[in-house]
Amino acid sequence: MNTLIRSSDLFHDLSAARLPTLARAWEVWTADPRHAKQGPEACLRFLLHAHLQARDHSKVETFFRQAGLPSHFALTTFEHGLQVGADDLCMAHLRAMSWARAGQTVVITGPTLSGKTHLAAAMGREAIAHGLRVRMVQAPAMLGRLLDPDLSTVERKRNFKQFSRAELLIIDDFATEPADDEETVQFRRLLDERTRRGLPLVVTSIHSPEEWDQAFAEVATREGIYARVLGGACHRIALRRRQRSNGSAHVTPETNPARKPKKAKEPV
């Protein structure tokens, strides 16, 4: 049985089938003499574990690439504490992901260099590890993709569907730039659809909710936005500006030179 499993032909078959991760895992398995006496079930578990790890890594890399952020952001690298505005209890709650499974909202506010984007992206990584499909986008870029007149109606609808049905949507820079009437209505439509589906949401903003009025032009519609974001079970985290112990600040969209602004026409 073990002789058959060790056939070198399997490596070439897996490579030919465009399963390079399984091919490499098989190569690692057969190279370890400790596996010689193990049966096919142990081998299958080893290959499956390698495949799942590679799949999750690919999802994380895609998430950070689409968000235009460095991929090292994680909850383990976020410096937290009472002086920051996110203590151990808060971090444990975010890590458990019960809020996401319940379709709840997390609102992260704070000044520049407080780590809002770091924390939000880290939550996205954690959600991916829990099997959720996650999208992170800056609010102005999202509205550009939803309302760009140069895109066809089909493309705009496809963009709306992707944002409204993501199992977790993270909107960075929420209520940071003024939105006109059409943009405000589109925001409301998107949030209405997500609320109807019971999907969780994370938003970050440099402004506190008490200052959001200046960002939305249409009064009646913006009240609906507030109800969707702040109503129900909403977890609010107010971060404070601080410096890292080594003297460098959290990398944010404003300070990260590797983050390039996205054009409105860029496909999702």
| Positive/negative CA dihedral, 241, 65, 59, 191 | positive
d(CA 223, CA 239): 24
Are both 100 and 150 inside the same structural domain?
yes
Are both 208 and 146 inside the same structural domain?
yes
Question: What's the number of domains the chain is made of?
Answer: 2
Are both 228 and 172 inside the same structural domain?
yes
- Tell whether 94 is covered by a domain: yes
Are both 50 and 182 inside the same structural domain?
no
Are both 90 and 221 inside the same structural domain?
yes
For residue 163, the enclosing domain spans 68-238
Return the CATH number at 98: 3.40.50.300
Strand order in the sheet with 234-238: 134-138, 168-172, 201-205, 105-109, 234-238
Please tell me the predicted confidence (pLDDT) of residue 126.
Answer: 93
Domain boundary among 36, 57, 78: 57
pLDDT > 70 fraction of the chain, expressed in percent and rounded: 87
Are both 39 and 141 inside the same structural domain?
no
- Tell whether 166 is covered by a domain: yes
Most confident of 22-31, 36-45, 196-205: 196-205
- Structure tokens that stand for 32 in this block: 């370890």
Please tell me the predicted confidence (pLDDT) of residue 249.
Answer: 42
Are both 38 and 119 inside the same structural domain?
no
Are both 160 and 108 inside the same structural domain?
yes
- Tell whether 131 is covered by a domain: yes
Q: What is the mean pLDDT of the chain?
A: 84
Are both 37 and 143 inside the same structural domain?
no
pLDDT (tens digit per residue) in 86-128: 999 999 999 999 999 999 999 999 999 899 999 999 999 999 9
Are both 156 and 99 inside the same structural domain?
yes
CA distances from 59 to 62, 71, 124, 125, 245 (A): 5, 11, 11, 9, 31
- Tell whether 17 is covered by a domain: yes
